């Protein structure tokens, strides 16, 4: 009996040990799987963020070109600088406030209009009508938009730069971050947290517009609640409440498409409204709320004295003479030659346009960041730029924000110093997309809150808002607007986001093809078409300057040969150019691909009536100045040939939308999908 029992126990033990080993093996496999998935998720996030910030650097560069253009634009048809200054500078309206109000009231709304009809002062019925209309994809008539903006402007004129609130009047205050035209996120916040009211106060911390397709609806809703509950609805200005940023990131185009009759007047009024938005909010004298951040020179007392309405754009450079510009550029070149530390290539062929772009970015830091500027004449503008553009970083100190191209990086010591100086305990800011919708840093003294979910791609991030009660302990609430992602697994969501990020990165590679090839060939002395992985990664970073893990990304971007080297031309295989016009050389075509967005902005500025056409002479002058500003060598004959070739009906006008469409990077996968479809 005893032996039989022993054998039975032994037989039972063996399967148990096997099961345990199998479970351990499965767990090990699963942990590795999750780790690989997390790595892909992180580098996808880094790609999205790096390309976003590179775009902001490009916008700063473009704002410099605007000033250059204003200074040097030759007289065309008697218009002179007015060709672009009408959007870059506010137009002084000769009408009195009473006459302007009467003008808006007299705009006729056709009987066929089925949207909401507002009456001022607004009531709860009006805000409910707006919410219902926008859920049904209706558009508010231009008359009511103008009246709403006019009333908002009147109200904001009375507001100080820094708003002081108390939690003693309400149980909790809700703080929301960037919305960026995502109406679904705003509606979801209201559904989960309730509409603004005396019992449910809100602070929206800037960046209401741009990027998303419903920016107009968002500002209409926010401004309507601001007028309805002026003591319980508060709006801080963000870096995208800026008409020059709006030119690049879609809000200007959205307004003109939705309001073809009154669009230009709406945009002009919005310039004033945006410039009048408060810059900061303080709760219970303990919590500071600003959009971007601070610098080592931020002072709330000084910020309270800034004439904020004069800062129409944080990107607008003061007008200066061409001689002054040349002096600045030469000084910047000398400075860059002494401090060119980031490029890892010593080859002169790899330093041309890239180093010029870097110099232009450095010039922006010096002009607009308190960390680098000591000029008293620009201190007001610098204070506003720091508040709107800065980001927290882990190292101590304050330095120019080299990633965005504007504002500062501020460390824990800078945060601690400001909080102690003003008797504060917490800084809440937005400005940065976070995967979970919020993030704490600087020993819990800085909170970043971001309210636009799916910001980069469906499933890329959650949105969040934070609530503060009298005890000032933050409570976070996360959400995610879900449609197509609801049924996707984590692996599928990562794959979708990763695919989108890699497509954007490959476009970036293609638009820098000439520089990359020249730099690759510096290492490929024998012209084999192959270089080592480390050389490939070094070249790509030195040209694109995106601070990405290129070795990790290499398998998704370029092929590896049998000898372990990278076949560097393979990173351009999945993408191809559109169908450029005949006179354009390959090098010029690449330049046009790279600066396509900038050119579209410039052409839209010149195209006053938004007809999609500009004169040949305007095209010539604009492109000559743009190429001169970039340091791109293009002779006059090439420009003239290009202009004539796109004047298809020979009427002296150019359809620049067709011109720009020719310079669009095409993914071969897209072409295959279209053919299969």
Catalytic residues: 240
- Cα–Cα distance between 108 and 277 in angstroms, integer? 30
Contact 463, 451 (CB under 8 A): yes
Contact 116, 140 (CB under 8 A): yes
- Cα–Cα distance between 461 and 454 in angstroms, integer? 5
Contact 636, 623 (CB under 8 A): no
Core vs surface per residue 145-178: b (16+ CB within 10 A) or e: bbbbbbbbbeebeebebbbebebeebeebbbbbb
Encoded tokens for 271: 């310039």
What is the helix (H) or strand (E) element at residue 667, kind and residue range?
strand 666-667
Core vs surface per residue 630-668: b (16+ CB within 10 A) or e: bebebeeebbeebbeebbeeeeebbbbeebbebbebeee
CB-based contacts of 216: which residues, under 8 Å, 6+ apart? 139, 145, 209, 251, 254, 255, 258
- Cα–Cα distance between 88 and 602 in angstroms, integer? 11
392 phi/psi in degrees, rounded to 5? -80, 145
Residue 121: asked if its preceding bond is cis (omega within 30°), the reply is yes
- H runs (alpha helix) in 277-407: 300-303, 322-339, 352-368, 379-389
Q: How far is CA 34 from the centre of its chain?
A: 30
DSSP symbol at 634: -
629 phi/psi in degrees, rounded to 5? -65, -35
- Cα–Cα distance between 1 and 256 in angstroms, integer? 93
- Give the strand pairing for 202-204 and 173-176: parallel
71 phi/psi in degrees, rounded to 5? -75, -30
Q: Is the dihedral of CA 49, 50, 51, 57 positive or negative?
A: positive
Core vs surface per residue 219-248: b (16+ CB within 10 A) or e: bbbbbbbbbbbeebbbbbbbbbbbbbbbbb
- Cα–Cα distance between 668 and 573 in angstroms, integer? 8
Encoded tokens for 193: 């947290």
- Give the strand pairing for 408-410 and 438-441: unpaired
Encoded tokens for 4: 């039989």
- Cα–Cα distance between 120 and 477 in angstroms, integer? 34
- Cα–Cα distance between 271 and 283 in angstroms, integer? 28
Burial class (CB in 10 A: 0-12, 13-18, 19+), 383: buried
- Cα–Cα distance between 246 and 253 in angstroms, integer? 8
Encoded tokens for 500: 């989108």
């Amino acid at each position: 009996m005893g032996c039989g029992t022993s054998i039975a126990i032994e037989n039972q033990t063996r399967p148990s040990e096997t099961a345990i080993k199998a479970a351990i093996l499965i767990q090990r496999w699963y942990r590795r799987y999750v780790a690989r998935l997390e790595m892909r998720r992180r580098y996808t996030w880094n790609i999205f963020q790096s390309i976003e910030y590179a775009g902001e650097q490009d916008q700063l560069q473009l704002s410099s070109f605007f000033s250059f253009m204003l200074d040097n634009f030759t007289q065309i048809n008697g218009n002179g600088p007015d060709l672009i200054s009408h959007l870059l500078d506010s137009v002084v309206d000769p009408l009195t406030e009473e006459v302007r109000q009467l003008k808006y009231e007299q705009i006729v709304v056709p009987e066929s209009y089925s949207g909401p009809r507002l009456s001022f002062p607004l009531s709860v019925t009006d805000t409910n009508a707006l919410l219902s209309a926008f859920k049904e994809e209706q558009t508010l008539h231009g008359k009511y938009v103008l009246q709403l903006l006019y009333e908002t402007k009147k109200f904001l004129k009375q507001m100080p730069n820094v708003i002081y609130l108390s939690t003693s009047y309400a149980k909790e205050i809700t703080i929301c971050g960037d919305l960026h035209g995502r109406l679904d996120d705003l509606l979801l916040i209201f559904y989960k947290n309730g509409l603004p009211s005396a019992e449910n106060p809100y602070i929206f911390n800037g960046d209401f517009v741009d990027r998303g397709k419903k920016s107009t609806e968002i500002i209409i809703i926010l401004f309507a609640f601001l007028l309805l509950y002026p003591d319980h609805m508060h709006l801080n200005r963000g870096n995208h409440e800026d008409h020059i940023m709006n030119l690049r990131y879609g809000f200007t185009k959205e307004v003109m498409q939705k309001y073809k009759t009154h669009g230009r007047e709406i945009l002009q009024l919005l310039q004033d409204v945006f410039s009048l938005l408060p810059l900061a909010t303080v709760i219970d004298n303990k919590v500071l709320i600003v959009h971007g951040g601070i610098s080592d020179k931020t002072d709330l007392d000084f910020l309270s004295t800034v004439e904020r309405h004069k800062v129409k754009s944080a990107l607008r450079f003061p007008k200066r003479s061409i001689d002054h510009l040349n002096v600045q550029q030469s000084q910047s070149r000398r400075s860059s030659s002494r401090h060119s530390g980031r490029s890892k290539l010593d080859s002169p062929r790899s330093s041309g346009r890239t180093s010029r772009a870097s110099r232009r970015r450095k010039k922006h830091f010096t002009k607009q960041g308190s960390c680098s500027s000591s000029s008293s004449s620009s201190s007001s503008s610098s204070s506003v730029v720091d508040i709107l553009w800065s980001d927290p970083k882990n190292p101590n100190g304050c330095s120019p924000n080299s990633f965005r191209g504007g504002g500062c990086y501020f460390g824990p010591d800078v945060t601690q110093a400001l909080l102690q100086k003003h008797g504060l305990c917490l800084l809440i800011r937005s400005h940065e997309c976070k995967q979970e919708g919020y993030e704490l840093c600087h020993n819990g003294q800085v909170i970043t809150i971001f309210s636009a979910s799916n910001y980069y791609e469906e499933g890329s991030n959650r949105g969040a808002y934070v609530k503060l009660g009298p005890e000032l302990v933050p409570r976070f609430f996360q959400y995610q607007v879900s449609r197509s992602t609801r049924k996707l697994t984590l692996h599928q969501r990562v794959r979708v986001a990763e695919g989108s990020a890699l497509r954007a990165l490959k476009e970036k590679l293609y638009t820098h093809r000439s520089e990359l090839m020249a730099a690759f060939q510096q290492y490929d002395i024998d012209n084999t078409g192959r270089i080592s992985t480390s050389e490939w990664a070094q070249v790509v970073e030195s040209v694109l300057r995106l601070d990405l893990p290129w070795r990790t990304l290499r398998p998704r971007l370029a092929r590896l040969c049998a000898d372990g080297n990278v076949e560097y031309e393979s990173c351009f295989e999945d993408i191809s150019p559109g169908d450029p016009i005949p006179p354009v050389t390959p090098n010029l075509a690449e330049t046009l691909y790279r600066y396509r967005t900038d050119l579209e902005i410039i052409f839209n500025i010149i195209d006053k009536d938004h007809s999609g056409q500009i004169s040949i002479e305007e095209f010539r002058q604009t492109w000559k100045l743009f190429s001169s500003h970039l340091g791109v060598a293009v002779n006059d004959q090439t420009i003239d040939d290009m202009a004539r070739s796109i004047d298809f009906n020979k009427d002296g006008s150019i359809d620049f939308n067709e011109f720009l469409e020719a310079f669009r990077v095409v993914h071969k996968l897209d072409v295959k999908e279209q053919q299969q479809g």
